């Protein structure tokens, strides 16, 4: 959907964040910053200890082999009596996948389904220890400031815990082929190579997100539970997930783009281009020219999206989140745009994102 062609790895490099993929799982390490409101002095159990005890048995280490002696590794967690959730980029590292629960040996497993556009994957693990309980999804989006715990295997150190808060919501991560991973969660909990695919949980032990990337500057990201709950059932059932597709290239309305297009407000989502033969071809309009503002060339003539159905879209993040969480391929959606100085509403029927190249 988005015109920006940066891959997830280039995006994370731009903000100083690494991508998971470290090998080996060894010792238990806990890394919690205990403060006065934890109700625990040094050496005593804390609220984070309780969360760890509730959740850790359902978190697994993952190793993936591609023919070389050193595997790629990541994390995952059990979501029902036989399925483990992790990142697509974790299992995509090779053809042979092993998982290990706390207190067990390595077990070869089968990948049941993957979705590159959400960076989610499901593993079919039919031999689950009887004492292992699946984790529970949070049923609402966490508020900014919610305390959270990341559990996984950073740098191959199994059972590691780090704590922090939800630093932001509705983050748009750029995935494969320039498409967005919408409704992402940002956290300052320490997230490093090997945490990918592990759970980000609140203090009740509910999963608010699937850790996707991190590694520096107190910035980590997770795929939201709300998006995961749409994608994962399809991966279990069919092995794939169909994402809604508008067939347009988008950018946020910046101050200079607003000036170049004679817009009163620097808000909304500008349509740079419309894919020929796509769902919005003949319905929405992309750029038709350019203008120079303060020495910078900006595109002009494209529609500015103000609402999708009854939902305002002041930013591209809002538009992407609505598409990802509220629509499906085949839905007909009303789009309110500003075109040639006036507002109008048009209908477009969503397609399905093309297969990743």
Catalytic entry in 61, 75, 83, 89? 89
Q: Is the separation of the CB atoms in 163 and 48 below 8 Å?
A: yes
Residue 4 annotated to the active site: no
Catalytic entry in 2, 119, 170, 188? 119
Output the CA torsion sign for 346, 352, 356, 357. Answer: negative
Residue 22 annotated to the active site: no
Q: Is the separation of the CB atoms in 98 and 128 below 8 Å?
A: no
Helix (H) or strand (E) holding 104: none
Residue 196 annotated to the active site: yes
Catalytic entry in 158, 196, 280, 287? 196
Residues 6+ apart with CB under 8 A from 289: 299, 300, 301
Output the CA torsion sign for 236, 240, 246, 251. Answer: positive
Instruction: Indicate the SS3 state at residue 233.
Output: helix
Q: Render the burial of 212-223: b for 16+ CB within 10 Å, e for the rest.
A: bbbbeeebbbbb
Q: Is the separation of the CB atoms in 125 and 78 below 8 Å?
A: yes
Active site residues: 89, 119, 196
């Amino acid at each position: 959907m988005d015109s920006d062609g940066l891959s997830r790895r280039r995006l994370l490099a731009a903000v100083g964040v690494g991508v998971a993929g470290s090998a080996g799982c060894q010792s238990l390490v806990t890394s919690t910053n205990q403060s006065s409101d934890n109700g625990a002095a040094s050496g005593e159990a804390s609220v984070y200890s309780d969360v760890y005890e509730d959740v850790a048995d359902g978190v697994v280490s993952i190793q993936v082999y591609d023919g070389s002696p050193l595997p790629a590794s990541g994390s995952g967690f059990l979501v029902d009596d036989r399925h483990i959730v992790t990142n697509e980029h974790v299992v995509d590292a090779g053809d042979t996948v092993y998982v290990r629960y706390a207190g067990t040996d390595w077990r070869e497993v089968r990948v049941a389904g993957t979705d590159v556009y959400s960076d989610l994957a499901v593993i079919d693990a039919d031999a689950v220890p009887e004492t292992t309980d699946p984790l529970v999804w949070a049923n609402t989006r966490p508020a900014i400031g919610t305390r959270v715990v990341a559990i996984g295997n950073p740098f191959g150190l199994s059972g590691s815990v780090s704590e922090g808060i939800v630093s932001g919501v509705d983050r748009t991560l750029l995935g494969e082929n320039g498409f967005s991973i919408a409704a992402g969660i940002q956290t300052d909990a320490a997230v490093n190579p090997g945490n990918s695919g592990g759970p980000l949980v609140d203090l009740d032990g509910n999963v608010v997100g699937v850790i996707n990337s991190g590694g520096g500057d107190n910035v980590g990201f997770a795929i939201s539970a709300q998006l995961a709950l749409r994608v994962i059932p399809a991966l279990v059932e069919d092995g794939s997930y169909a994402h809604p597709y508008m067939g347009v290239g988008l950018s946020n309305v910046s101050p200079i783009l607003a000036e170049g297009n004679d817009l009163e407000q620097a808000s909304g989502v500008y349509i740079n281009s419309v894919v020929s033969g796509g769902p919005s071809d003949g319905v929405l309009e992309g750029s038709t020219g350019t203008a120079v503002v303060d020495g910078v060339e900006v595109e002009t003539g494209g529609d500015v999206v103000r609402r999708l159905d009854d939902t305002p879209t002041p930013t591209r993040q809002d538009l992407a989140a609505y598409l990802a969480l509220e629509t499906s391929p085949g839905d007909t959606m009303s789009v309110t745009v500003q075109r040639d100085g006036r507002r109008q509403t048009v209908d477009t029927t969503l397609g399905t994102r093309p297969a990743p190249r």
